Amino acid sequence: MPDTDAPVSRERLLEMMTAFKSTYLLRAAIRLKVFDALAAGPADPDDVAAILRTDPRGTRVLLRALAAAGLLVAEGEQFSLPEGARELLVTDSPQYSGGIVNVAASDWEWDTMRDLADVVRHGGTLLDTNGESPDFPYWVDFATHLTFATLPGARFVADTVLPWAKERDSLDILDIGCGHGLFGFTLAEQDPRATVSCLDWPQVLEVAKGHAERAGLADRVRYLPGDAFETDPDGEYDVIVLGNFLSQFSARRCIDLVRRLTGRLRPGGRVVVVGFTTGDRPPARDYHAHMLNLLMLAWTREGELHSPTMYRKILASAGLTGLETAERPGFPLRIVTGHRA
């Protein structure tokens, strides 16, 4: 996150102008599995090139650049992993995080944001296949490669919902635009009564199905392929989760959707909106949210990150009451909930 109190200077501008170089350096190293090649210990460029089956000269230049960026340690022509790299960047590590590059620095974002000035002139996406299209490949990557906020966000939802859910006779969950499905699955892992219905595009549901099976929830999850605005979710639910979803649409469309979904909510049931928000704090406090908002501008026709106040208005328009906003210090996602009377 940038230091917004610092004055605009040549040094600060140069840092912003060249920040993309760190991104393409890390992307290349992850895709080539450079860190795997050094997991067993230090090696020189020729040895690494032999392992990766890459050009020795190209490998030497890449390794030196990685050392310059602090992602490798260089001692002469011997390169090794610095502290933290074994856990986060070697693929067999339980904490491996390299796959997140497919989400945080996706090919789609990489290509689209080159034309951000034209996007701003146009006021929305320039893509024929965009974030609202059934076959937009990014959503499969988003469901596959969990970000740093995914599991903490799922636990946040569970901590918000479960104390309330203990008083109910059932816990049937509908996860709209489920993606990875973990918001619903984490609830189901902690409450054996829970069932989860996942609604998303068919290819995304295939990824969610894998997550459910690994969590041992295959017999408690069903899948509803289709468009959230058109597909009938069929049934009644205690909880409807809208995670990282409503930001893809205008407030008007969000109101239409929530009103329709509320008809599937059991009396006393709860709608849970979770995601990044903007609009109620100085932009510098929500840096990542505002960067994501640029992506919504470039990838959707009318999408925009909404404020907690707007989410409460959306829920209230559907007749929901007991509106609450929850947040955790230092965590970027916020939760807005409402109850059906």
Q: Which fold has domain 10-96?
A: Arc Repressor Mutant, subunit A (1.10.10)
Please give the DSSP secondary-structure letter assigned to residue 206: H
At residue 112, the pLDDT reads 92
Q: Which fold has domain 138-339?
A: Rossmann fold (3.40.50)
Average pLDDT on 142-169 reads 95
Distance between CA atoms of residues 122 and 242, nearest Å: 28
Q: Vertex 160, ends 324 and 340: CA angle to 5°? A: 50
At residue 268, the pLDDT reads 96
The structure's pTM equals 0.91
At residue 263, the pLDDT reads 95
Query: Is 5 a residue whose pLDDT tops 80?
Result: no
At residue 3, the pLDDT reads 73
The residues pairing with 237 across neighbouring beta strands, listed in sequence order, are: 265
Place of tokens 């329709």: 260
Query: Is 24 a residue whose pLDDT tops 80?
Result: yes
Render 234-286 in DSSP notation, one character per residue. Answer: -S-EEEEEEES-GGGS-HHHHHHHHHHHHTTEEEEEEEEEEE---SSS-GGGG
Helix (H) or strand (E) holding 321: strand 321-327
At residue 218, the pLDDT reads 96
pLDDT single digits (tens) 217-232: 999 999 999 999 999 9
Q: What mean pLDDT, rounded, does the chain reach?
A: 96
pLDDT single digits (tens) 236-254: 999 999 999 999 999 999 9
The contacts of residue 159 (CB under 8 Å, 6+ apart) are: none
The contacts of residue 239 (CB under 8 Å, 6+ apart) are: 161, 165, 171, 172, 173, 174, 187, 269, 270, 271, 272
For the chain, what are the domain ranges?
10-96, 138-339
Average pLDDT on 311-333 reads 96
Contact 181, 249 (CB under 8 A): no
Is residue 289 very low, low, confident or very high in pLDDT (cuts 50, 70, 90)?
A: very high
Contact 220, 251 (CB under 8 A): no
